[in-house]
A and B are shown apart, each in its own frame.
Chain A
Amino acid sequence: MKRAHHLDDATLTRFAAGDLDEAFAVVVASHIDMCEDCRARLRAAREVGGQLLEDTPQSALSDGALDRLLAKIDAGMAASDTAPAPIRTAVGDVPLPLSRYIGANLSDVPWRTIAPGIRKKVIPLKSTDSSLYMLQIGEGKEMPEHGHGGNEITLVLSGAYRDAMGVFGPGDVADLDEDVEHQPKVEPGAPCICLVATEHPTRFKGLIARLFQPIAGI
């Protein structure tokens, strides 16, 4: 399916290189699951890794390294597992990489109401300095205008919102630098469910917004 808003080239390259931490990797992987264009772009970014591996000066292996590995294979640690893997895709409406954390259905997410019309689900991660969470925002609802303390990536899973950059529907991703400020408003028709990774807590502008932030915890 064609998506309108894609990953930044730097983000895609960082994913191919393996540099993104878990929170960002989940959002990026989920977008790639929903976006054929970015799958193709990722393929090119992976070739760069392959070529750099080919070009890198070699470091000699210790004696017997191959024999040790063949012995492991013989010992059955790698029993004839060389057949193609069974095709596995997420069965519900949640992209496969995200389904590892919240299950396959958006309807099963245990939301917590944090403000009128705004519900949140934090996804706890062991090994990351960033935070990963989902938001469900009611139709027509406006978020306070905010900038970002660090990088932030938002993936729309269902519904849609609109801001200065256009309309973001299912599969669209807003891959924002820290200096971007935006004020998303949910489109009429249905609530908008998003998956968000942030480096630092988002900062809202203005007194009301700052009062709002501790409640919303966004």
Chain B
Amino acid sequence: MLLAVRVTQELETPSDDGAVHQSNLEAVALRQDRAAFAALFTHFGPRIKAMMLKAGADTAQAEDLVQDAMLAVWRKAGQYKAGRGTVAAWIFTIARNARIDKLRRMSSQPYEDVDELEISSDATGSDDQLIASEEAELVSKALDALPEDQRRIVELAYLADKPQSEIARELAIPLGTVKSRLRLAYQKLRQTLEELR
């Protein structure tokens, strides 16, 4: 009984989620596996929609962006490399690029070029030794450990796509404070990752 409880808890940890996403994505890449793709869609689709709504999309736009992003996930599944990060981070960048193209009406080419450089780069940095799922768990813990004011700014920047100037207006704080909080948050996150390396 005790054992059963423990197993259930373990299954719910983010690292296990990450492993499931990873094997689903591999199944899409190798066999164009529809069931595996459906599982990814069911998990990430509603989250991408939430991200787009936060960024100011209306419902129809948000739904379209989910279609665009998940279609790109299907197409690019073979480009994902586990050593370069988690599936969630990979899908976040795909959704982010779709958001830049469609919501900001700006070219996401410089962003995509960097993603592509990652794919073609064979250099294995020390970062690769950390298994992606472990790294995800660390980032999750580090995010939880951030003071509320820093976490809020990080969320606004990543999910709500708020420019720094707008964040400053919304929270009624100087632009310099937004920058320094973002910097502090990133340094803390990075410290956590490095300590565990």
Interfacial residues, chain A to chain B (CB-CB below 8 A): 8-10, 12-19, 21-22, 25-26, 28-30, 32-33, 36, 39-62, 65-66, 68-70, 72-73, 77-78, 80-85, 87-89, 96-97, 100, 126-128, 177
CB distance from A31 to the nearest CB of B (A): 10
Cα distance, A53 to B40, chains bound together (Å)? 13
B147 in the interface, Cβ–Cβ < 8 Å?
Answer: no
Asked whether A44 lies within 8 Å of B193 as measured between CB atoms, the reply is: yes
> CB within 8 Å of A: which of B73-100?
74-79, 84-93, 95-97, 99-100
Chain B residues whose CB sits within 8 angstroms of the CB of A45 once the complex forms: 186, 189
Asked whether B70 lies within 8 Å of A50 as measured between CB atoms, the reply is: no
Contact flag A54-B14 (CB < 8 Å), given A66-B45, A127-B106: yes
Interfacial residues, chain B to chain A (CB-CB below 8 A): 14, 17, 28-29, 32, 34, 37-38, 41-42, 44-51, 53-54, 62-63, 66-67, 70-71, 74-79, 84-93, 95-97, 99-100, 104-111, 113-114, 116-121, 123, 125-127, 135-136, 139-140, 143, 154-155, 157-159, 161-164, 179-180, 182-183, 185-187, 189-190, 193
CB distance from A171 to the nearest CB of B (A): 14
Partner of A44, one of B71, B91, B107, B190: B190
Asked whether B116 lies within 8 Å of A96 as measured between CB atoms, the reply is: yes
**Taking CB as reference atom, which chain A residue is nearest B121?**
A39
Asked whether B109 lies within 8 Å of A87 as measured between CB atoms, the reply is: no
**A–B Cβ pairs within 8 angstroms, 11 of them:** A22-B107, A33-B117, A40-B126, A50-B87, A51-B136, A52-B154, A55-B143, A59-B46, A61-B45, A69-B71, A127-B106
